[in-house]
Structure 1
Amino acid sequence: MWLFVTALLLASSGTAWAAGETALPYRIVGDAIPDSLTGAPGDAARGRAIVANRQVGLCLLCHAGPLPEERFQGNLAPDLAGTGARWSEGQLRLRIVDAGRVNPATIMPPYYRTDGLVRVNPAVQGKPILDARQIEDVVAYLRTLREPPQQKAE
């Protein structure tokens, strides 16, 4: 499944990759990246747009979230509802930057880590999927999601 998700990311338009940006160094402490990648807080509205965008974040390919206007949300990964209550800002940041640090068996691609990857298109080698500002924007949006997922009637 990880290869499928990665293939979709690679096949998506070039807008999914940060335009020429290389990932900046970051510090992992326990299960978190405590410091902002940009030195500034992200914008939750921009983060919501990235999560909903099927050409940039591709989050809804695997995750469902409290975005009722978005159809065909995923069910392969945890629901995004309640993420702001479950994890700290730093924990969310690490899960987006490199979810494999928290769960080595994850199918979620690293959105910011660029080293140690295999079978990467040479045109995007060394470039993160999301740039530092986009990561901070998504973190800011996810921090607003405090309510747990709604139970679906069967």
Structure 2
Amino acid sequence: MNRHVAWAALAATFTASAAFAAETAPMDVKFDDAGGVEASLTGQPGDPSKGAEVASTKSLGNCVSCHVVSALDASFQGNIGPELNGAGDRWSEAQLRGIVIDAKHTFEGTVMPGMYKTGPFIRPGDGYTGKAAPADLPPILNAQQVEDVVAFLMTLKEE
């Protein structure tokens, strides 16, 4: 193999692994005083169309089970959380990222689950329910799905 080709292959491998290493783990997310998260979790831009899919799919984020989002064609839209129409005008990208990751940093009493959180959780335990979750739970969304949802929310402007 040519030395130049070998160096190019090594550089491509290093670049790919550096991009993968750039993903922020749930417990390493840094919130600002207002609950926002400035830095992308992946270093990659979000895809609004994939974010819309996450927001409207029951087995993914299922945002529409609690929020009205007129831009989504969902048979049921909840009214537990605030309406998300115009979210891209009401909140900055950093604020939306923080809310999606763990809304309790912005809205202390919210019932919204942390979508990119692995703990700590308050659990009633086996003594109360008989069905306690294991000690460590995976996040509901992965880092790229969070970025996709944020990109989708940023498209929701006031009419």
Q: CA deviation at 1:68?
A: 5.2
1:41-52 → structure 2 map (5 Å cutoff): 41-52=45-56
Larger gyration radius, structure 1 or structure 2: 2
Q: CA deviation at 1:23?
A: 2.5
TM-score (norm 2): 0.73
**Which whole-Å deviations, capped at 9, do the CAs of 1:82-111 have from their partners, x for residues lacking one?**
000000000000001110111111010111
Task: Give the CA RMSD over aligned residues.
Answer: 1.7
1:102 alignment partner in structure 2 = 106
Which of 62, 87, 92 is matched with 2:66 structurally?
Answer: 62
1:129-144 → structure 2 map (5 Å cutoff): 129-144=140-155
2-side partners of 1:79 and 1:134: how far apart? 20
Maintained 8 Å contact 1:64/1:75: yes
Structure 2 gaps of 5+ residues are 1-24, 124-131
Question: In terms of mean alpha carbon deviation, does 110-119 or 94-103 score higher?
Answer: 110-119
2:85 alignment partner in structure 1 = 81
Structure 1 gaps of 5+ residues are 1-21, 149-154
| Aligned-pair identity (%) | 40
Aligned residues: 126
1:28 alignment partner in structure 2 = 31
1:8-23 → structure 2 map (5 Å cutoff): 23=26
Segments of 4+ in structure 1 off by > 4 A?
Answer: none
The residue type equivalent to 2:39 in the other structure is D
Maintained 8 Å contact 1:115/1:126: yes
**Which whole-Å deviations, capped at 9, do the CAs of 1:104-127 have from their partners, x for residues lacking one?**
1101011112221133622x8241
Maintained 8 Å contact 2:26/2:117: yes
In terms of fraction of residues, the more helix-rich structure is 2
TM-score (norm 1): 0.76
